[in-house]
Amino acid sequence: MNKKIVLLLAVALLMAVSVFAAAEKEGAAVGTAAVSRPLVVGSADFTGDFYTGWGNSSYDVNIRTLVWGFGLMTNNSKGEVVDSILVANKTISTDLTEWKFKLVDGFTFHNGEKLTASDVKFTYDFYMNTEALKATGGTSSLHQYVDSVVADEATNTVTFKLKSVIYTTDSSVFMNVYILPQETITKGAQAAGQTVQEYVKANVSSPIGYGAYQFVEYRPSEYVKLVAFPEYKGKAPAIKEIIVRYVPSETELDQLLQGEVDLLFQQVEEAKINPAKADPNIATNNYFRHGGGTIVLHTDYEAFALTEVRQAFAYVLNRPKIIELFLGEYGLASQGPYSKNMWMMYDDNEMNMLGSAADSKFEKSLINYDILDAQGKFDEAANIAKANQLLAAAAAKTTGAYANLTGNASSGFLWKGQPLEIKITFTDFWSDTYNLIFNQAYLDKLSFKITLQGLDWPIMYGHWMGDTQEQRQYHAFVGGMSYALKSNPRESYSTDKILPWGQPSLNGPRFSGGGSITAAQWDKLLVDIESAHPVTGKNDYRRMFREYVKVMNQELPIIPVYSNNYFDLYSADLVNFNTNALWGWAQAILDANWK
C-alpha cells in the first residue's frame, strides 16, 4: 500500500477517535456533532478598544455587545428603545429632566463583583470627567446632557438630573453607556498609580462586563474568545462559546464553505453572496443595511478645505463602476448619510417605502454626483468636465485658502505651487476595486493627481481619526459607516469633536462648515436637531434632519459611495438566528442554537 495512503488513513483514524472521545465527553451521541461546539465568526480585524470611549470600530462594538449587551436602556429587534433587564422600574419627571432607575438586585460583573447603583454613578462620573478622559485619548458627550447623578445604595436606585432634554435622550444618554465595575477599576488604578481613566485605557483590551458572554482572550489580528456567563440574568444563550476570528476577505468565503467558520456577517459582494446562496449547507439573512459605504474626506487638510475640490473629486469617482465591481446586483446609489430604514427620509404618505429600494421625494431632490449617459452608464467625459469646471471656478477665487489653488484644466491644477494631489487610503479589502477604478488610463485624463495607498486597518483607522503620531498625509479614507438606532448627528459631527492631531476625533471628517454654512451655523443646526422635543417634536426633527442631509450632500465631508443589501451567511445548522438592519448578529445570537 502507498505510504501516503497509509499515513492519511492513520490521520483519519486518529481524528475519528478524537471526535468519538469529544462526543462522549460532551454527552453527545457518537456520530453527531456536539451541540456545545463553539460558534466561529469570521470578522475583519479589531483595534482592541473593547471599552466605550476610545475607538469606534464596528468590529470592536460587536465584542462590547457580547460582553455588556445593554446599559440602563437597550433596543429590541424591532428597533424600539426599551428598559434593559438591569432596570426594575423607571420614573421620569413631567418636564423630562429627572430620570430615576430602580435596579434589579443580584446582578454581578463577570469577575464576581456585585453591580449596584454606585457602579452606575461611578460609570457616568467616569465619562463625564472630560479632562481625565481626554488625557488618555478618550471622548464622551455625556457631560453635555447630564448635570448630576445620585446613587442610593439602600434602595439600589440611581437618579439623573439632566441639563437639557434632547430628542434622543433615551438612546444617547442611557442606551450605550455600559456600566463599569467600580471596585475593580478603583483598586487597580490605585495599585498602578493611575487615574481610573488611565487604568481602563491600559486594560482596554480586557473588558469586564455583565452580559451574556464573558471575555476570555484576545490575540491581536487573530481572534477574541468568549464563553457564556453562567450568572447572566437574562435568558441563557444556547451557544456556549464564541470565537470571533480575524479572517482575510480573500479567504473568508472559502473558510465558510469549508466549515472553518460558521458565520460571515454583513456581506455585500455578489461574488460571495451567490455561491453561499447556492450551497445547501449555508443559510442566509438579507436586509437593507442601516449604513453605507463611504469615503471620508478630511475637510481641514490642504486642498480638501475647499468645497469645490471635494465636489470635483466626487464627480470623478466612478460610483456606478464601484457598485458593479464590488456589489453587483446588491448595491444602490446613495446621496447622503442616511439609510433606507430612516423614517425621516420619507413623507407621511411615503411610509410604505420604508426599508425598500424606492427613493423618497426628498431623496430625489439631492445632488447626484454621477452624470450618466443615454445608456445609464457613467459618462466619463461629462464627469471630468464638471470636475474641471468646479476647480476652475475655485482657482478664480483669491481669498483665504482659495489663493493656494492655481492652474487650469489644460496644464493641470496646482496646490501651493505643486500639482494638486488627492491621496486616498484603504485596507487590502478595497485594493482591487479602487485600483481598477483609478487605473492609469483614467488618471491620465484628470487635471489633478490621485494617489492610492493601502494600509492595515488599525493604522488606517488611526490616520482617519487622527489618533496617530505619524505625519499627516491622507485626504480620503475608504470605509463604511453604521447609523445609530436614533440618529443624533451632533454626536459625530459637532465641531467640538475635532481634536488636535494625535488624539482621536469623533468628528471623523473633521468638518466645521464649508461654502454653504459657517461653523457656527453648522453647530446650531446640529444642536437644534438634537433639541427637538422627544414627545411632540417629530415633524421638527424630520425637517431639520433633512437640512443636515442637504448640507452633507452639498459639502461632502463624506462621499456616500453606496447603500447595499446586507447578507449574513451562516452554517445551516445554526437555527433561530434572526438578524435585521437594527438587530445585529451579536444580539441575535442570544436566541440562536445548533440544530
What DSSP designation does 65 have? H
88-121 tens-digit pLDDT: 999 999 999 999 999 999 999 999 999 999 999 9
Q: Per-residue pLDDT for 582 more than 80?
A: yes
| Per-residue pLDDT, 35 | 58
The three-point CA angle 151-157-158 to 5° equals 50
3-state class (DSSP) for residue 238: coil
Distance CA 570, CA 579 (A): 11
What does the alpha-carbon distance between residue 79 and residue 478 come to, in Å, rounded to a whole number?
A: 28
Grid cell 464596528 in the structure block, residue:
58
Is 112 in contact with 214 (CB distance < 8 Å)?
A: no
Query: Are 532 and 541 within 8 A, CB to CB?
Result: yes
Is 90 exceeded by the pLDDT of residue 6?
Answer: no
Per-residue model confidence (pLDDT) at position 18? 38
Neighbours of 93 (CB within 10 A): 12
Summarize the confidence of residues 337-353 as an average pLDDT.
Answer: 94
pLDDT confidence bin for 24, thresholds 50/70/90: very low
pLDDT confidence tier of residue 10, bands split at 50, 70 and 90: very low
Rounded to whole angstroms, the Cα distance separating 205 from 133 reads 17
Cell of 111: 469577575
Report pLDDT digits (tens) over 387-407. 999 999 999 999 999 999 999
Residue of higher predicted confidence among 312 and 33 = 312
Candidates 429, 42, 460; CA nearest to 222 is: 42
Exposed, middle or buried: residue 319 (CB in 10 Å: 0-12, 13-18, 19+)?
buried
Whole-angstrom distance, CA of residue 340 vs CA of residue 423: 31
CA–CA separation, 519 vs 506, rounded Å? Answer: 16
Nearest to 480 by CA among 333, 264, 294: 294
Answer whether 413's CB lies under 8 Å from 406's CB.
yes
Please state, rounded to an integer, the average pLDDT across all residues of the chain. 92
Q: Which amino acid is at 576?
A: N
Cα 134 to Cα 69: distance, rounded to the nearest angstrom:
25
CA-nearest of 401, 174, 182, 214 to 307 is 401
Per CATH, the number for 43-217 is 3.90.76.10
pLDDT of 236 > 70? The answer is: yes
pLDDT digits (tens, 9 = 90+) for 560-578: 999 889 999 999 999 999 9
Lowest mean pLDDT among 28-37, 212-221, 470-479: 28-37
Whole-Å CA distances, 282 to 243, 329, 346, 569: 19, 20, 35, 7
Q: Which three cell numbers stand for residue 105?
A: 438586585
pTM (two decimals): 0.75
Contact of 493 with 558, CB cutoff 8 Å? no
Give CA separation, 533 vs 91, 344, 347, 441, 483, in Å: 18, 15, 19, 54, 21
Structural domain boundaries in the chain: 43-217, 291-566
DSSP 79: S
How many Cα atoms are found within 13 Å in the side-chain-facing hemisphere of 386? 19
Contact 23, 178 (CB under 8 A): no
Q: What is residue 405's predicted lDDT score, i.e. its pLDDT?
A: 98
- Residue 376 to residue 594: CA distance in whole angstroms: 46
- Residue 422 pLDDT exceeds 70: yes
Could you tell me the fold of the domain covering 291-566?
Dipeptide-binding Protein; domain 3 (3.10.105)
Average pLDDT over residues 286-315: 96
Mind listing the pLDDT tens digit for each residue in 453-464? 999 988 999 999
Which position has the higher pLDDT, 291 or 87?
A: 87
- Ramachandran area for residue 77 (φ above 0: left; ψ -120 to 50: alpha; else beta): alpha
| Cα–chain center distance at 370 | 26
| Band of residue 372 on the pLDDT scale cut at 50, 70, 90 | very high
pLDDT tens sequence across 63-87: 999 999 999 999 999 889 999 999 9
| C-alpha cell belonging to residue 398 | 483669491
What whole-number distance in Å separates Cα of residue 213 and Cα of residue 70? 12
Can you say whether the dihedral through the CA atoms of 217, 61, 171, 593 is positive or negative? Answer: negative
Residue closest to 268 by CA, chosen among 245, 243, 287, 255: 287
d(CA 356, CA 477): 28
